[in-house]
Chains A and B, each alone.
Chain A
């Protein structure tokens, strides 16, 4: 009897556990259609390092907003918003699972970038899979720059000449071919070979590549001289200092190719007589040592560094200050950097755009490249090529730096070929990594890629060039101080120059958190203020009728004004939601911000005055569109978060939640929801308008009431507070299964074809042809064929076609621009004077083609023999 009872008890327990598990985490009963109709449009670029780009006045003729390549057949021309009906995100434990699960049709797309050459070969062989390439990752060797550690040990890498010699120690071709299996490009400088600056200064780059190419014997000579000068001795083939072996503590990352790189470099160092202590560590193990510890403690000597850029960076000038000087980061490693004062000056000027012409920038940039290699606190190794793989039946636009996951346009372009609708199963390494809230929530790519589909931006970056394109705005004007090297490329923005730009007295320059009102320019700058740049953004007349939040609330002016307020308020001590983690970024913003003014409310026109600008007018425009650091949000959803934080029950940022011992605010799941619901009820009851002294001018009591009711209905229906205006809405969050489902927003107003052109980046193919033998002193002509998919590349889409002539030692002999013959064909004519200086022997003609349609330059080369007459 007791056995029977026990048996049945166990069975009941098992069934109950099963039932418990079967209750999906946060299951919002989905409805096919969101309440009302939103509009479409993307916005600001996620990452790119900002900076100037070209000459002030001589900007090239603006072109129409780019029309990418192939135009897919729209199956339903009246289809709005997204092409697919649903995207389901699920978490895979590791990248290794991606290909098998794609092959087994278990997922349709793997969002993360992969770099394993074997996996790449497997994808290429599989007709059911396809892939796209992106170029945003790069690896380097980070050196500890302290010469003598606190305990008296010698650190060879504290000596700049030894660091410089490390460039000759590493064979980058070996790394690219043998370790990356060809899925990378050699790298000598802190600029990416897929971005515009590389092509712009390709002649200098090639010169430095030749100067610093692999030469172990040269390295040995320099290192021997310097080690002896530092007091070290070679004993039995090993370097010693004060009788002890000179030991290099090498932190080697274990997650990717850096393990093999670390082993290879260790072998090279051992060959040079160093004793190497190889310490294999993961990110979390290595980070406290190389990034967190004082370099003088000598816990490490070299670290295998890796970096990623998730959007095309049109100006990499600030990279010198970031990677080589103490301007980069506040951590102890960066603060230990001591530079040649001239290098520091050049790097700082490039970072702050302190130049008055493109020529001046060119000069600074070329100097910085020389200094960077002489300093070499980092030795750059390879620009990685990563691939994103998915079903061959899918199409999607992708970012040349960030891949599919990093592309702002993926929600608008993801589709099944020749089909409208359907579900896409998207795998990635995780989802719902950290709490979601728009002001300080998760910034993991695995969360932001989902959030971007739910929200939208006022402008979106072209995934192939990084230039902003208008999405929700109609047009913009940029007025810059005369002499600034800003240029315009696209016709949606105008650019003009003025000698002085005066900021109007009634513009808002700051925020008084105690009185909850804006501080005007007249109050903040009694003597008046000027700005380097003024931007004016014009929204369409039907903006507030057309764009609606997913909960049905129409977009309103209050959504813009609260964005302006929140830019300042959380960094002010008098604020009810003061957060000291926000103070540094506010201070940095205020150091360049001069004022903002709403010129017109219908249609909405906003002027912004600032000392900060980009080299491209398109990327300089300030929109004030209500998309925050970590997602889009209407004012009424922010208001309940405001109440929760002000009452000490939740906090927007991780730092504050930790300090206050409260939950990190989460709009989509967890214990935050109940608290937010409580404040929603309270806000509804009180007719709460946040920042009432100011916002009550823009938000009526009726609007507030209607919005809170909409949000309450939304919460009841969906079970979360995440509301956007994008082409998808968040329909289900299953926290237990770690699955997020987003459904198409049927009310989205813009046509699905709007961004359909971004099918494939027009990366040019370059071929060079000409005589195999050239007599010095005589003219020689070479033809250059620039094509895309075997069709001539239109000349008006080409920015430059540069040629460079090198001798067999890699020295640059001649350079210039090729001449256009016809679409897709250019000519290089080496005159008698040019060839006169070419020494007899093998010579290489290299051609670099830069397109206006993509940031990635294309290269072609031709070798010939120069003979004496």
Chain B
């Protein structure tokens, strides 16, 4: 009994134990799962999580990037066409972004997979998986279309609406008027005088959106049968597999932290005011 207590660290004070557990969690020394095994058959929590992480990063990374660039583009276009039909459409549809991505996913699956039968229901790859790596990658891309569309659909209207508003606000600034008066081209004005100063605000709003998307991953990946970290967490909760739940939570915490960290770096890139040592040296 004593040996077992010692092995599990139960002979140490609670506070010490808590810090030890925290250290182990932060360094991904997560031990063995209680019930789950990794896809490759290992019971190490670290392996269970790490083998699912790339697919989650791939899907959400791709979708988020597409969402960002698409939203910026559309928002810029709409800011030029304030009050137009499409502007009003986006404004009208912006409340639909209250629904999560998986909600749209179900409808997309019904339409494109079940009814039209032109896209797969979900999964990572075709069955049987292509043997050539190129075809395999193309098959993965094909399987990403619907989930990516679902993510974009769930967030694009609100982001376009809010960003186009930012652009409108910034486009009425005095220095923009001055630029127009100087006869600069519309494209230059957009890039240098509107987009540039708006970026910190947009990036902040985008980062917050990404974080909210991460939190929906468990259900989203389950709907699309996507073998990612979210589905692992979903399964772990169903099985009460505490080590995996703790591990997945830690990983999600890392992902959020990394998102915020990248945000800081991006700030420095897009906003000279927050650049360290960016000023003139005396």
Residues of A within 8 A of B (CB): 2-3, 6, 10, 13-14, 17-27, 29-30, 86, 88, 90-93, 97, 100-101, 103-107, 282, 284-285, 423, 425, 432-436, 657-658, 661, 663-664, 666, 668-672, 732, 734-739, 741
Nearest opposing residue in chain A for B124, CB measure: A737
Chain B: which residue is nearest A2 at the CB level? B269
Name the residue on A nearest B275 (C-beta). Answer: A2
Q: Which of B81-89, B129-137, B163-171 is near enough to bind chain A?
A: B129-137
Contact B39 A736, beta carbon cutoff 8 Å: yes
The answer to whether the Cβ of B227 comes within 8 Å of any Cβ in the partner chain is: yes
List B contacts of A10 (CB < 8 A). 65
Let me know if A732 and B269 touch, CB within 8 A: no
> Is B40 touching A671 in the complex (CB atoms < 8 A)?
yes
| With contact pairs A97-B121, A670-B38 given, residues A17 and B269 touching in the complex (Cβ less than 8 Å) | no
B95 to chain A, nearest CB (A): 29
Q: Is the CB of A666 within 8 A of B41?
A: yes
Contacting residues, chain A, for B128 (C-beta < 8 A):
86, 88, 423, 425, 732, 739, 741
- B121, A88: Cβ atoms closer than 8 Å: no
Is the C-beta of B45 less than 8 angstroms from some C-beta in chain A? Answer: no
Which B residue's beta carbon lies closest to that of A426?
Answer: B127
In Å, the complex CA distance between A95 and B96 comes to 30
Once the chains are docked, how many angstroms separate the CA of A739 from the CA of B240? 25
Partner of B61, one of A17, A657, A734: A17
A736 partner residues in chain B, CB cutoff 8 A: 39, 51, 55, 124, 227
Contact call B42/A670, Cβ cutoff below 8 A: yes
B222 touches A739 (CB 8 A): no
Which residues of A are found within 8 Å of B113, using beta-carbon distances? 100, 104, 106
Do A436 and B127 form a contact, CB below 8 Å, given A21-B54, A738-B227?
no
Contact at A735–B43, with CB atoms within 8 Å? Answer: no
**B270 at the A/B interface (Cβ < 8 Å)?**
yes
B239 within 8 A of A: yes
Task: Enumerate 30 A-B pairs (CB-CB under 8 Å) in ascending A order.
Answer: A3-B270, A6-B266, A6-B269, A19-B137, A21-B58, A22-B136, A22-B140, A23-B133, A24-B136, A86-B128, A88-B127, A90-B123, A91-B225, A97-B225, A100-B113, A103-B114, A105-B117, A282-B238, A284-B238, A425-B128, A435-B37, A436-B41, A663-B43, A664-B43, A669-B39, A670-B42, A672-B42, A732-B128, A736-B227, A738-B124
In the assembled complex, the CB of B227 is this many whole angstroms from the nearest CB of chain A, namely 6
Q: Does B57 contact A (CB under 8 A)?
A: yes
10 A-B pairs closest in CB distance:
A666-B41, A670-B40, A670-B41, A735-B39, A22-B137, A435-B41, A88-B128, A669-B40, A90-B127, A737-B124
Q: Which residue of A lies closest to B241 (CB)?
A: A284
A92 B41 Cβ-Cβ under 8 A: no
B58:A106 contact, CB within 8 angstroms = no
CA distance A62 to B41 in the complex (A): 47
Interface residues of B in 32-60 (CB under 8 A from A): 32, 37-44, 47, 51, 54-55, 57-58
Can you name the residue of chain A whose Cβ is closest to the Cβ of B42? A670
Q: Which residues of A contact B57 (CB under 8 A)?
A: 17
Q: Is the CB of B41 within 8 A of A661?
A: no
Q: A670 CA to B41 CA in the complex, in Å? A: 5
Q: Which residue in B41, B61, B127, B240 is a CB contact (below 8 Å) of A434? A: B41
Residues of A with C-beta under 8 A to B62: 14
A18 touches B225 (CB 8 A): no
> Assuming A91-B225, A423-B128, A732-B129, what are 5 further A-B pairs, CB within 8 angstroms?
A92-B225, A106-B121, A663-B44, A664-B43, A736-B227
Q: In the bound complex, how far is the Cα of B136 from the Cα of A739, in angstroms?
A: 13
User: B39 to chain A: which residues have CB within 8 Å?
Assistant: 25, 432, 669, 735-736, 738
Residues in A whose Cβ lies below 8 Å from that of B61 = 13-14, 17
- Residues of chain B lying within 8 A (CB to CB) of residue A436: 41
B residues in contact with A22, CB < 8 Å? 133, 136-137, 140
The yes or no answer to B120 lying at the interface (CB within 8 A) is yes
A423 to B126, CA, bound (A): 14
Chain B hits for A671, CB < 8 A: 40, 42, 44, 47
- In the assembled complex, the Cα of A693 lies from the Cα of B141 at a distance in Å of 57
Which of B38, B140, B240 is the one whose CB lies under 8 Å from A21?
Answer: B140
Q: Chain B residues with Cβ under 8 A from A100's Cβ?
A: 113-114, 121
Please indicate the chain A residues that have their CB under 8 angstroms from the CB of B270 in the complex. 3
B125 beta carbon closer than 8 Å to chain A: yes
Is the Cβ of B140 less than 8 Å from the Cβ of A734?
A: no
Q: How far is the CA of A658 from the CA of B231 in the complex (A)?
A: 24
**Which chain A positions have C-beta within 8 A of B129?**
24, 732, 734, 737, 739, 741
**Nearest CB on A from B1, distance (A):** 15
B265 to chain A, nearest CB (A): 9
Give the nearest-CB partner of B43 in chain A.
Answer: A664
Please tell me if the beta carbons of B127 and A284 are within 8 angstroms of each other in the complex: no
Give the shortest distance, in Å, between A631 (CB) and chain B (any CB): 14
Please state if B133 and A18 are interface contacts (CB–CB under 8 Å): no
Min CB gap A694→B, angstroms: 31
Within 8 Å CB of B223, what residues of A?
93
Chain B residues whose CB sits within 8 angstroms of the CB of A735 once the complex forms: 38-41, 51
Across the interface, A658 reaches (CB within 8 A) one of B32, B55, B58, namely B32
Docked Cα-Cα span, A22 to B37, in Å, equals: 22
Residues on A with C-beta less than 8 A from B140 are 18, 21-22
B218 to chain A, nearest CB (A): 12
Q: How near does chain A come to B126, taking the closest CB pair, in angstroms?
A: 9
Cross-chain contact of B121 among A19, A101, A425, A670 (Cβ < 8 A): A101
What CA separation (Å) do A658 and B125 show in the bound complex? 33
CB of B137 within 8 A of CB of A17, answer no
State in angstroms the CA–CA spacing of A729 and B240 once bound together: 35
CA of A312 to CA of B108, assembled, Å: 43
* Docked pose: A664 CA to B44 CA in angstroms: 10
Closest to B138 in A: A22
Chain A nearest CB, measured from B133 CB (Å):
6
Q: Are B55 and A664 in contact (CB under 8 A)?
A: no
B222 adjacent to A668 (CB under 8 Å):
no
Report how far A657 CA is from B270 CA in the complex, Å. Answer: 53
* Residues of the B chain whose Cβ atoms lie less than 8 Å from the Cβ of A91: 225
> In the complex, what distance in Å separates the CA atom of A865 from the CA atom of B106?
58
Contact A669 B41, CB 8 Å, known A100-B121, A104-B113, A739-B125: yes
Task: Point out the residues of chain A lying under 8 angstroms from B240, CB to CB.
Answer: 284-285
Least CB distance, A477 to chain B, in whole angstroms: 42
CB distance from B167 to the nearest CB of A (A): 18
CB distance from B71 to the nearest CB of A (A): 16
Q: Which residues of chain B are within 8 angstroms of A737 by Cβ–Cβ distance?
A: 123-125, 129, 227
A18 touches B137 (CB 8 A): yes
In chain B, positions 254-279 with a C-beta closer than 8 Å to chain A are: 266, 269-270
- What residues of chain A lie closer than 8 Å to B133, measured between beta carbons? 22-23
Q: How far is the CA of A749 from the CA of B123 in the complex (A)?
A: 37
Closest beta carbon of chain A to B264's beta carbon, Å: 13
Minimal Cβ-Cβ distance residue in A for B110: A100
Chain A nearest Cβ from B136, distance in angstroms: 5
The proximity string for B residues 205-235 relative to A, scoring 1 for CB distances below 8 Å and 0 otherwise, is 0000000000000000011010100010000
Inter-subunit contact B222/A93 (CB<8 Å): yes
Residues of B69-127 whose CB lies within 8 A of A: 113-114, 117, 120-125, 127
Most buried by B among A97, A434, A736: A736
Bound CA span A544–B270, Å: 75
Closest to A427 in B: B127
Is B137 a contact of A14 with CB atoms below 8 Å? no
**Chain A contacts for B37, CB-based, 8 A:** 433-435, 664
Contacting residues, chain B, for A423 (C-beta < 8 A): 128
Give Cα A90 to B127, complex, Å: 7
A538 CB to closest chain B CB (Å) equals: 39
Chain A residue nearest to B240 (CB atoms) is A284
Nearest Cβ distance between residue B13 and chain A, in whole angstroms?
Answer: 24
CB of B123 to closest CB in A, whole Å: 7
Q: A6-B269, A23-B133, A284-B239 are contacts. A18–B58 as well, Cβ < 8 Å?
A: yes
Closest-by-CB residue of A relative to B38 is: A670
Contact A104 B121 (CB under 8 A): yes
In this complex, what residue of B is CB-closest to A287? B240
List the B residue with the shortest CB-CB distance to A6.
Answer: B269
